[in-house]
Chain A
Amino acid sequence: MNIVNFTPVSALTGGLLIGLSVALFFILNGRMIGISGIASNFLVSKNNRIENFLFLVGLILGPLIYNLILGKEINISISNSLILLIVGGTLVGFGTRLSSGCTSGHGISGISRFSLRSIIATITFMIVGILTVLITGIL
C-alpha cells in the first residue's frame, strides 16, 4: 500500500466545520444531524419539513458561498456510467434508510453518542466500501 494524495490539513479543517455544524444543530435545534435522515424525511414526512428543506438548501449553498468568497473553482471527478450511477444511488438511498443512517448519521452523530449500533454500522459500510473498490478495481 502506498499513501497518495493525502491532504490532512484541509481534511481536518473541513471536518472541524462539519463537527461544528453537528454541534450547533444539537445545542440549538436539539437534533443530531444525519443527512440521509434529513433528506428522506423531507421526502416522506411532514414533520420538520421546512427545517429539513432549509438544511438541504444550505448544503447546496455551501459550495456557492465558498466559491463566492474564495473565488476557487471546485472540481469533482465522478463516474459517467448511467447504469452504475442509478444502481449506486439507489443502493445508497435504500441502504441508508434501512439502517437509519449514513456517514454523517452513524459515522459522526452516532459515534459522538458512543452508540454501539452506529459503530457497527460504520465499520460495516466501510469494510463493504473497501471490498467494493477492491473488486471493481480488479474487474
Chain B
Amino acid sequence: MNKIVSLVCGIIFGIGLVISEMINPEKVLGFLNIFREWDPSLAFVMIGALIVSTPIFHLFKNKNKPIFSLNFFIPKNKQIDKKLIVGSIFFGSGWGLIGLCPGPAITSIALLNMSSAIFVISMFIGFYLASKVN
C-alpha cells in the first residue's frame, strides 16, 4: 500500500503544481520580482497547502501509527546552524536565477523541455555533491 500511496501522492502533488502554474519558472520569478512587477500567486499556493497540511499534521501527530506504516517519521533536528543558513542561501540564489525548485523541476520533465532536463541533471549532481559533504 505504501507504494500506491507514494505514486498517488506524487500525482496529486504534480497536478497541484500544474494547476497553480508553479511548474512555470516565469510564474515563480514573477513572485520573487517583488520590487518591480509582482505576481503574488506563489503566496496563495503556500496558503492553500498550509491550510490543509497544518491541521492534519497536528491532528494525527500524536496517534500511535500511520495507517500503512509502523511509525511516524518526523524530523527531530531543531538546530539553527550554519548548514541551514548557507544551504538556504545557495538554494535561494539558484531558485532566483532560474525560477525552478526541486518539485516543479522534476514535474516539468513530463513536458520534455531540454532546459528543465539540464536543470534537473545539474540538481541531481548537486544532491550527490551535498551527500559527500554531509
A98-B86, A121-B88, A124-B84 given; name 16 further pairs at CB < 8 Å. A14-B17, A27-B56, A27-B60, A51-B2, A55-B10, A57-B7, A64-B110, A79-B97, A89-B105, A91-B97, A95-B91, A95-B126, A96-B127, A98-B133, A103-B101, A134-B33
Is A132 in contact with B1, judged by CB distance below 8 angstroms?
no
Chain A positions 80 through 105: 1 when the CB is less than 8 Å from some CB of chain B, otherwise 0: 10101111111111111111101110
What range describes how many residues of A lie at the interface?
35 or more
Collect the chain A residues with CB atoms within 8 Å of residue B1's CB.
28
Looking at chain A's contact residues, is the secondary structure mostly helix, strand, loop, or mixed? Answer: helix
A38 to B8, CA, bound (A): 15
Contacts of B119 in A (CB 8 A): 78, 85, 88-89, 92
What is the 8 Å Cβ interface bit string for chain B, positions 22-61, against chain A (1 contact, 0 not)? Answer: 1111110110111111111111111111111110110011
Known contacts A19-B49, A57-B10, A78-B113; A128 and B33 CB within 8 A of each other: no
